[in-house]
Homo-oligomer: A and B are copies of this chain.
Amino acid sequence: MRADARKNHDHLLDVAREVVAEQGADASLRDIARRAGVGLGTLYRHFPRREVLLEALLRVRFDELTAKAGELQGSASAGEALTAWLREAVAVAHGYSGAIESMVAAIADPDSALHASCQTMRAAGTSLLVRAQESGAARKDMDGTDLFGLLGALAWLRDQPSLAPKADHLFDVIAGAILARE
């Protein structure tokens, strides 16, 4: 990549992260280009679809979540490890509100720019789920896709301003449902 292109690319990502944090994942692309001081066509050259931009923004976070899952694998309680990771994943999604919808859609669409990233993330969660299931901490009638679905529901709840006072409690209720009943 040419030096000026690289510079535009990186700057667009910085600005996009900022605007998406403010306005959500469906923020105006025109606005992003404007605030980056770049032509609209330049944004499209680097990120031909909105998903491609989102993927570039989320990849870093997904890598962090995968690393976190690795750490938690070694922790004492398999159940707590799963819950802690889920809490982290919800927080990440909330930093890009509305993105969870694209993520859930991408898991079943191999053509989506987000597909690979989301699969990686699901795999990270699955590893923690499986360990929790083997240790008897998590219910056994769930797979990684179910976990991803519940993550979606939790992230959606966290994105609703009117439910903010209830967000933590609702997290406990749903996350608690994954843990095995005696």
Contact = CB atoms under 8 A, between A and B. Distances in A.
A2 interface: no
Given A104-B162, A105-B162, A173-B177, A153 B157 contact: yes
A77 interface: no
Interface string A92-130: 000000000100110111000000000000000000000
Contact of A149 (B141, B157, B178): B157
Interface in A147-170: 149-150, 152-154, 156-157, 160-163, 166, 169-170
Contacts of A101: 160
A147 to B, nearest CB: 10
Interface residues of A, number: 32
Given A156-B156, A160-B104, A149 B166 contact: yes
Closest 6 interchain pairs by CB? A108-B162, A177-B177, A153-B153, A156-B156, A149-B163, A104-B160
Interface of A: 101, 104-105, 107-109, 139, 141-142, 145-146, 149-150, 152-154, 156-157, 160-163, 166, 169-170, 173-174, 176-178, 181-182
